[in-house]
Amino acid sequence: MKRQVKITRGIEPLFGTRDENIRLLEAALNVSTHLLEDSLEIEGEPEPVRRAEAILEDYVSLVQQGQGFTNGDMKAYLRVAVEDPQVSLRSLMASARQRNFGKKTLAPRSLNQMRYVEAIERNDMVFSIGPAGTGKTYLAVAMAVSALLSKRVGRIILARPAVEAGERLGFLPGTLQEKIDPYLRPLYDALFDMLEVDKVEKYLEKGMIEVAPLAFMRGRSLNESFIILDEAQNSTPEQMKMFLTRMGFGSKAVITGDITQIDLPAGKRSGLLQAIDVISGVEGVSFIYLDERDVVRHNLVQRIIRAYEQYTEAQNRQLSFALDQAPDEPAA
């Protein structure tokens, strides 16, 4: 089956660097494309061709309406659209426009990211677990900003376990806040990416946004709040239980973490790992797992994460083989 989609504008981001976007479309849907003078011809089985045609027609329509795409954005949106037949390029962009993220217009860049955003909207507590660069923290902060600007919550509380924020920071100069701020900087960075600097400062002064170490949450009950615990893999079981029981009425909580990068002292179990075991079946709690396919940083980051996973798997296989080959110790 062959179909043609007329394209007169925006051909560069559609094709991407070295045609990577159009190759993604071809490989995912098992179609081939041919660029004609003012259109793109699609060839393949009827159903994949129709899906490709619908995606391209959405793209043409959005460009005609003034929607801009960068090469990187287009690749991410195509990945979502080809992975799920129920998702159209138009609905993906419309969903982003419906939410007020301040000075940003954001759309999920992978199918798992879309499920993550939807889970936050549907549930009062969401765990997002995955490697660096998958948008765990950024999307959580974006949803928190959206909830604050639309007055669905009265404040945002961003917390991180400051593993180094105990006595070991005592020798550093400055106030306690000045000592702690470097460990909270990624949360500030996400805020400043979505809101004007003066607005963030005003919200901080009024207490509508609070950025603090996890230990500062003890003894509090947080109502009408959007609460984010970042780097949760570095919380202890006691800290995690304390955090999870801070939720008050009208609040949402998002817990993010990377279980491959735990910085706790040897022998100390991660509170995030324990929480996965303890509350994964609790109604109203959603767990979203992200992987290297959801990385939205440089393509090289995806390959690095996968290389480390393969290395760890190989090390575990070698250790298992060595244990199997070890002679049994004689009975006493």
pLDDT band at residue 167 under the 50/70/90 scheme = very low
Does the pTM surpass 0.85? The reply is no
Residue 256 · residue 280 · CB < 8 Å: no
Q: CB-based contacts of 175: which residues, under 8 Å, 6+ apart?
A: none
Per-residue tokens: 324: 């199997």
Q: Are 253 and 125 in contact (CB under 8 A)?
A: yes
Whole-number pLDDT of residue 312: 82
Residue 176 has pLDDT above 50, yes or no: no
User: What pLDDT is stored for residue 43 in this prediction?
Assistant: 93
Across 117-239, the runs of DSSP E, i.e. the strands, are 125-129, 155-160, 209-213, 225-229
Please write the tens of the pLDDT for every residue from 74-99.
887 888 888 888 888 888 777 766 67
Task: Write down the pLDDT at residue 168.
Answer: 46
Provide the H-helix boundaries in 89-175. Answer: 89-98, 111-122, 136-149
In 233-255, which positions are buried (b, 16+ CB within 10 angstroms) versus exposed (e)? bbbbbebbebbbebbeeebbbbb
| Tens-place pLDDT, residues 237-263 | 999 999 999 999 999 999 999 998 898
First to last CA, the chain: 76
pLDDT on residue 267: 85
Higher per-residue pLDDT: 206 or 293: 206
Q: What are phi and psi of 154, to 5 degrees?
A: -95, -15
Give the model confidence (pLDDT) of 55-75 as tens digits: 999 998 988 888 877 767 788
Q: Which of 10, 4, 16 is nearest to 74 (CA)?
A: 16
pLDDT greater than 50 at residue 164: no
| Degrees, nearest 5: CA angle 301-264-190 | 45
E strand spans, 9-100: 32-35, 39-43
Mean pLDDT, to the nearest integer, of 273-298? 88
